[in-house]
Structure 1
Amino acid sequence: MEFDSDANEVIFVGLVIEFDEGISMILVGDLGQLPLVNDRPAYDSNRRAKLLWEEFKTMITLDKVFRQDGENIQQQRFHQLLTNLRDANPKIDDWKLLMMRTPITLDVARNNYFDNVVHFFSTNENVHNHNKRMLYSLNHPVAHSLAIRARSVNTIEDCSNDELDLELLINKNSRVMLTSNLWIQVGLVNGVLGYIQKIVYKPGSAPPEPLTYVLVEFDSYSGMPFEDHHPNIIPITPIQRGGTLQLPLRLAWALTIHKSQGLTLSKATIDIGSRERIGLTFVIVSHVKSLEGLRIMPPFTYDHYEKMKNGKQLSKRKAEENRLKFLEDNLM
């Protein structure tokens, strides 16, 4: 079987459970990916999630690589590096290979290749600081969009979901990410990137009144053009989620490594931070198509890299993977 996996070893697992009514539930995922922030994997939970998880008795491994396709020597070496990363099996040669992708070791032309790419950090604070610095470097007026209740434009409601931010600062040429699935068929999906081209208010209104819409030029959009001469530019209006109204956008010069999950990146600059968590480096490196599309800034020591094998959850994850492998080997 084939699936979009992240390395060349056993990565994605499919678990199947069939209910009495003949309805099946299929879970597809990778235990090597990061769990939700401040959460634990289902197999290590004390809640009902673990009981449901243990009801799954059918396991199928999906191991064909699509994201890092290609069978040349460089890609094969990258596949092996990813496998070692996923298994928290640090190798000095892998670390040396990664350190060849730092600003110090790349020449000027290769460093310029990474201008304006998304920069991934391990913390929200670093993401906020980088986005704010880039925002004001554009030297355009900044619009301040506050989340509001759908029925009252004067009441700010706390936004606790991932789709809508409490506050959004944007200006012309801001790099943004769509945070909601608006029109899947034409590429307007959660995670697609674009640039703000125009900010529009109602006639006669101005800040701090709510925005009417913004025009965004998306990297990938295949629907009908809003403007014939700019086929990728379309209007994005505020949407309502849980009684809250806000633009489904987020500044995206920088994102957290957690937010990289689900993205396929041609190139990215990454900062893995001062604390190596199991899965952190693997997640972001594995979402880049090739080693040539990776820049690491700043460099990190091998001692820092080696700490991945000391993750508290590593032994639990490997024990669960062994259990799932046993299920697959004994599949009738």
Structure 2
Amino acid sequence: MKQLTALNILKLGYNVFITGSAGTGKTYLLQQFIRYLHKRQIYPTIVAPTGIAASHLKGQTIHSFFALGIRDTVVDNGYVEFLLEKSYLKSRFIKLKILIIDEVSMVSPEIFSSMDKILRAFKNSPLPFGGVQVVISGDFFQLPPVSREPKEKRFAWQSPAWKRLDLKSCYLDEKFRQKDNQLIKILDEIREANISQESRELLNSRYRKKLSGNTIATRLYTHNVDVDRINLNELNTLSTPPSAFKFTSKGSARNIEKIFKTAMILEELVLKKDAVVLFTKNNPEKNYVNGTTGVVIGFEEGSPLVKTSSGNIIRVVAEDWTLENDKNENVATVTQIPLRLAWAITIHKSQGMTLDAAEIDLSKTFEVGQGYVALSRIRDIEGLRLMGLNEMALSVDPLILRIDNPIKKASQRAIDKIESMTKKEQEKKAMKYIEQLGGIQPKKVTKKR
């Protein structure tokens, strides 16, 4: 499905599941939908299972928004009754009209059911999720929910609430991140659980391969302990003097803590000349996005100068990470340099990023999806230096294979349905839905003659 078709389906008020392989623009599509709503003075709530995932769309974690604490089981009736007594939660949920759930592959069925149960209680409605429009985005071939023990049911689509939502599926099929047919073939074969000998040989040819030119490779590892060790060791090997950058903040301690949980911000960032860094925020105007890599070439006026992989030299100034309340008002701000050391990062943290080049060690892969996520971060095969690979890295969960084709067929049905409507019918239904939500229609700008 094309992005424009999916956007038109979203505008009609349906519950929607947006999926597709890595790099098909799922986040970009959500950004377009959010922008469309904001222009009509409608402010959706955006949640995701982890802080980093939530930061991609300026959202918050599911556990924070739904007051789940550290629970990983379905909330019981007693806890829901306890939540119903909280006036701040009543105020929060009564205003909720559209819920966007991003990176759903990492959401467990228990957490998905808990969201449904809580919203039905607060909305006093038997409808799934209390009748709010639910927009779900993610790719089940990517990282699954973290689980302390093996479970028979571990994906959000296995929750009874998923089926009750009667979701319109939008399976995006146009790849924007990768233009390299060789890499696309490998990624597609992983999704089909059918790795060809040709693809295996191509991966083997990238083993400890020296990358061309001045390409800076971010090292991706499966375990935090390896990442921390590598970054600290590399920084300590530099003989240049360190420069430390401490965060500043405005707002309550509780709200500031929420920002730290939902973004890749360091309380103190220590840099040296020649340090390899990664940008942790999107700023297209200054030619960097979350995942752009570079090297610190010096410091100017108290700010680091970074030469990116593409050759741009950027004086990196502090940026704001903000937290908004239910009225879309800013209640807290954390200001820090949007960089972190990037000789190495975990594959888990890399989900959602686009990397210029990567040195990937998959020899300790312990979960399905890790290999696919790591390999799909890069734009082309020339940007890959493979340090190790085990068989788990190329495997996918059989359950995901089983549901993939039915989702594709459901997506085609959604295409057929919207294409059966005239443009005028679509616009009329979209306008009616905006009115139901209490939004406004933006004034059309007429060109002066």
Question: Same-fold call, TM > 0.5?
Answer: yes
Q: Which among 301, 314, 317 is matched to residue 236 of structure 1?
A: 317
CA RMSD of aligned residues (A): 4.4
Equivalent position of 2:156 in the other structure:
42
TM-score, normalized by length of structure 2? 0.51
Is 1:62 the counterpart of 2:172? The answer is: yes
Deviations 1:214-254 (A, max 9, x none): 23325289xxxxxxxx9733241264654655433211122
Q: Match of 2:219, as an amino acid? A: H
Is 1:31 the counterpart of 2:157? The answer is: no
Distance 1:288 1:323, change over 3 A: same
Give secondary structure in 1 for the equivalent of 2:407. Answer: helix
Correspondence list, 1:32-181, <5 A: 32-35=141-144, 41-44=155-158, 51=161, 54-69=164-179, 75=181, 77-103=182-208, 106=209, 110=210, 113=213, 116-147=216-247, 150=250, 159-181=260-282
How far 1:38 sits from its partner (Å)?
6.2
Deviations 1:185-207 (A, max 9, x none): 44343333333344578xxxxxx
Give secondary structure in 2 for the equivalent of 1:217. Answer: strand
Aligned residues with identical type, % of pairs: 27
Q: Match of 2:175, as an amino acid? A: V
- Give the length in aligned residue pairs: 285
- Partners of 2:288 and 2:393 in 1: CA distance: 39
Distance 1:270 1:160, change over 3 A: same
Equivalent position of 1:292 in the other structure:
382
Equivalent position of 1:215 in the other structure:
304
How far 1:170 sits from its partner (Å)?
1.2
Deviations 1:156-202 (A, max 9, x none): 97943323123422112322222234x4444343333333344578x
How far 1:140 sits from its partner (Å)?
0.9
- Partners of 1:176 and 1:37 in 2: CA distance: 28
Distance 1:52 1:232, change over 3 A: farther
Give structure 1 stretches of 5+ with no counterpart. 202-212, 222-229
Query: Is the CA contact (8 Å cut-off) linking 2:318 and 2:335 kept in structure 1?
Result: no
- Partners of 1:165 and 1:33 in 2: CA distance: 26
Distance 1:90 1:249, change over 3 A: same
Equivalent position of 1:206 in the other structure:
none
Distance 1:252 1:27, change over 3 A: same
Give secondary structure in 2 for the equivalent of 1:318. Answer: helix
- Partners of 1:116 and 1:218 in 2: CA distance: 10
Query: Is the CA contact (8 Å cut-off) linking 1:134 and 1:253 kept in structure 2?
Result: yes
How far 1:123 sits from its partner (Å)?
1.7
- Partners of 1:171 and 1:41 in 2: CA distance: 43
Q: Which among 270, 279, 283 is matched to residue 369 of structure 2?
A: 279
User: Which structure's residues are more often helix, by fraction?
Assistant: 2
How far 1:51 sits from its partner (Å)?
3.0
Distance 1:235 1:307, change over 3 A: closer
Distance 1:268 1:141, change over 3 A: same
How far 1:36 sits from its partner (Å)?
6.5
How far 1:271 sits from its partner (Å)?
0.7
Q: Match of 1:164, as an amino acid? A: I
Query: Is the CA contact (8 Å cut-off) linking 2:169 and 2:407 kept in structure 1?
Result: yes
TM-score, normalized by length of structure 1? 0.67
Is 1:305 the counterpart of 2:391? The answer is: yes
